[in-house]
């Protein structure tokens, strides 16, 4: 159980009790390798007195269609410090992270999220814990460079970060979802109830002391990336529309610009009319129609994107549903059937208490009862 001192900040009198969260989608080839690497890392940390011996690895199966969950269960049965969560359906990378944090983060001083492909350097977790012990609530894992990426990927990534910056979205350049969160940071994060999650934009808003550690990205050991171009585009759009209304304001600005242009066209048309040259202008008319129609459709699309976000938010559907859990936590008396509170339904009760706090209280009550 996390002490009250640990709830309010780091406790230098004892090692950090750490949870490493690993979202997985069709990663059957990587599960055993990932668990072996992270379990060895935790063992080395415990031996060095950096992390508590009760630290764990938590794997989340995000609706995989292969044998990922079978591999996760096998690792949970073979190792005491491995936990598994199986979501009922594909909920997305960000929601898979929130599922693990919502179920387990309350039990640990800090949590680290890392992808299953281990392209992010796990050894950086040592430095992350050093920053945590210095009082940091959030520690970002940041790539030193993108030399291993293609020219197109480097260009699009740099452009995207510049666009986010111009739109007023606070992000950390070259940071993905490799980060450490203290318990205090998680408590603040649990109060964010939106369904359209973009954690790279939310986490910088949590405040507290924040720092970055730098690493070189490694090649994938097995399997292939699950983020194709359409998914990256959808993720990028979520990052913009979840934090900025400037695209809508840009449409208004473009509308004003076209109003000024139309006044110029009006003056030009009147001059041509009184000069007796009204037959000419077919080409400019056709270009104007197509240009204005394209801009109007684009404007409707941008507005529709925001309306779609509102539509998904007001339905208040759960972010995820947990089908099954594996690992020694269930052996402590909390079975999957009793542990699965509506952890995907974030927000507040009528009394103003966060749902996540209620879930934590119910889990603690179950432990004490057993």
3-state secondary structure of 10: coil
Residue 345 has pLDDT above 80, yes or no: no
* In contact, 32 and 76? CB cutoff 8 Å: no
> Do the Cβ atoms of 339 and 89 come closer than 8 Å?
no
Give domain limits for the chain: 8-242+317-364, 246-314
Q: How confident is the model at residue 334 (pLDDT cuts 50, 70, 90)?
A: very low
Give 60: exposed, middle or buried? Use CB within 10 Å, 0-12, 13-18, 19+. Answer: buried
Per-residue pLDDT at 236? 64
What pLDDT sits at residue 302? 79
Percent of the chain with pLDDT over 90: 38
Report residue 152's pLDDT band, with 50, 70 and 90 as the boundaries. confident
Q: What is the pLDDT of residue 234?
A: 67
Q: Residue 44: which pLDDT band, with cuts at 50, 70 and 90?
A: very high
Tell me the pLDDT tens digit for each residue of 296-318.
Answer: 877 887 787 788 777 777 777 78
Specify the 3-state DSSP secondary structure of 187: helix
Mean pLDDT of 101-129: 93
Per-residue confidence (pLDDT) for residue 337, from 0 to 100: 34
* Residues 51-100: tens digit of each pLDDT: 999 999 999 999 999 999 999 999 999 999 999 999 999 888 889 999 99
Supply angle C-alpha 219, 225, 230, rounded to 5: 135
**pLDDT at 340 > cutoff 50:** no
CATH number of 8-242+317-364: 3.90.550.10
Please tell me the predicted confidence (pLDDT) of residue 13. Answer: 59
Sheet holding 322-327, edge to edge: 210-215, 138-143, 175-182, 110-113, 18-24, 56-61, 82-87, 322-327
Supply the pTM of this predicted model: 0.70
111 or 281, which is more confident: 111
d(CA 357, CA 366): 14
Q: What is the pLDDT of residues 162-218, one digit of tens each?
A: 877 777 778 888 888 899 999 999 999 999 888 778 888 889 989 899 999 999 887
The band of 33, judged by pLDDT with boundaries at 50, 70 and 90, is very high
């Amino acid at each position: 159980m996390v002490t009250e001192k640990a709830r309010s900040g780091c406790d230098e009198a004892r090692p950090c009790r750490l949870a490493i969260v690993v979202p997985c989608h069709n990663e059957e080839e990587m599960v055993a390798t990932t668990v072996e690497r992270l379990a060895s890392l935790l063992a080395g940390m415990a031996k060095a007195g950096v992390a508590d011996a009760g630290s764990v690895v938590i794997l989340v199966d995000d609706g995989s269609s292969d044998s990922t969950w079978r591999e996760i269960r096998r690792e949970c049965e073979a190792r005491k410090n491995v936990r598994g969560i199986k979501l009922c359906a594909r909920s997305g990378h960000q929601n898979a992270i929130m599922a693990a944090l919502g179920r387990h983060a309350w039990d640990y001083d800090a949590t680290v999220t890392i992808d299953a492909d281990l392209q992010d350097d796990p050894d950086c977790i040592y430095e992350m814990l050093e920053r945590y012990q210095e009082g940091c609530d959030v520690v970002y894992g940041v790539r030193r460079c993108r030399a291993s990426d293609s020219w197109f990927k480097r260009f699009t990534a740099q452009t995207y970060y510049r666009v986010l910056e111009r739109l007023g979205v606070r992000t950390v350049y070259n940071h993905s979802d490799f980060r450490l969160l203290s318990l205090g940071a998680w408590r603040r994060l649990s109060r964010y109830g939106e369904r359209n999650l973009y954690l790279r934009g939310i986490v910088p808003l949590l405040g507290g002391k924040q720092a970055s550690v730098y690493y070189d990205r490694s090649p994938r050991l097995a399997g292939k990336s699950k983020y194709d171009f359409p998914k990256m585009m959808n993720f990028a759009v979520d990052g913009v529309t979840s934090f900025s209304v400037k695209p809508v304001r840009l449409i208004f600005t473009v509308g004003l610009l076209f109003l000024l242009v139309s006044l110029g066209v009006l003056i030009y048309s009147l001059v041509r009319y009184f000069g007796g040259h009204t037959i000419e202008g077919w080409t400019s008319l056709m270009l104007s129609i197509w240009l204005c129609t394209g801009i109007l459709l684009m404007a409707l699309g941008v507005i529709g994107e925001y309306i779609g976000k509102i539509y998904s938010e007001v339905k208040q559907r759960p972010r995820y549903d947990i089908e099954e859990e594996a690992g020694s936590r269930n052996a402590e008396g909390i079975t999957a059937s009793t542990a699965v509170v509506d952890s995907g339904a974030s927000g507040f009760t009528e009394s103003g208490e966060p749902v996540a706090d209620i879930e934590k209280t119910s889990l603690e009550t179950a432990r004490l009862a057993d």
